[in-house]
Amino acid sequence: MQTTDNPRVYVPGDANGRDPVLHVAKEQGRLAGQNIVAAAQDNPVEPYQHIPHKVTFAGVGLYPVVQIGHTTRSAHEAGHATVTVSREAADDGVFRAKDVPHGLAQVVVDADDGTVLGYHAMHYHADAMAKTMQVLVEMGLDIRDVPDRAYHPTTPEILDGLIREASARVADAEWPDEIIVEPRQNFN
Ligand SMILES: Cc1cc2nc3c(=O)[nH]c(=O)nc-3n(C[C@H](O)[C@H](O)[C@H](O)COP(=O)(O)OP(=O)(O)OC[C@H]3O[C@@H](n4cnc5c(N)ncnc54)[C@H](O)[C@@H]3O)c2cc1C
């Protein structure tokens, strides 16, 4: 957040042009304040780093789009072998019963040690599940240690389906994703 011309000047929040959302602005403002104090005491300053956590509302708010942590592509670019599991909301009867059967969810897991790397979804209640999945991702939990028994019939059963299938595939190390990461297209 330090400006290139003057390291005493910090630009937290929307003004730096990256991730213009409120929780990021708040975290950056807090860290900028800590950095100003640290620099005044001749201590090192810390760069701002965070795991992506975004919710976008679609379908009159019924179908939020959630992006947490790594996608399969970004995980491969970061050097992880991955297991990626997808599940349709309609595969769980509760979504059909509530008349919100559209959408799907996807979890990305490290194929070697089961660490939950990312969650990407668009389905009813995905915004509420974003918090659960943020905890899994930011704490680096092993998918095989995560309970897979939500109360029936509740919408988090979609997570249970993902957890069960991903755990099985991590345990059976012969099933990692076969992804070849192509260079990103340049849109400039
Ligand atoms: C319509 C809309 C909807 C949004 N919805 C969401 C949402 O649902 N979720 C979410 O996370 N984010 C949302 N955002 C983004 C969120 O509001 C911003 O990311 C957040 O407010 C950024 O905080 P900030 O402190 O960096 O900037 P700001 O909140 O813009 O604060 C900057 C302040 O500086 C003041 N200022 C500017 N120039 C000067 C000056 N020269 N002297 C003194 N003061 C000055 C401004 O008046 C303002 O009060 C939305 C933004 C908009 C516009």
Atom of ligand 1 nearest to the CA of 21: 19
Mean of the pLDDT values across residues 29-50? 95
Q: Determine the average pLDDT of the residues in 84-112.
A: 96
Q: Is the peptide bond before 153 cis (omega within 30 degrees of 0)?
A: yes
Pocket test for ligand 1, best of 10, 21, 48, 66 (most atoms within 8 A of CB): 21
Query: What order of strands is seen across the sheet that includes strand 82-88?
Result: 53-56, 65-69, 116-123, 103-110, 82-88
Whether 87 has a pLDDT exceeding 70, the answer reads yes
pLDDT reported for residue 180? 54
pLDDT at residue 50, rounded to an integer: 86
Whether residue 46 has pLDDT greater than 90: yes
Task: Kindly give the distance from the C-alpha atom of residue 39 to the centroid of ligand 1, in angstroms, as a whole number.
Answer: 26
Cα(53) to centroid(ligand 1), Å = 18
Banded pLDDT at 186 (limits 50, 70, 90): very low
Q: Count Cβ atoms below 10 Å from residue 58 Cβ, excluding itself.
A: 12
CATH of domain 53-171: 3.30.390.30
Q: Which residues line ligand 1 (CB under 6 A)?
A: 13-15, 20-23, 25
Domain residue limits, the chain: 1-50, 53-171
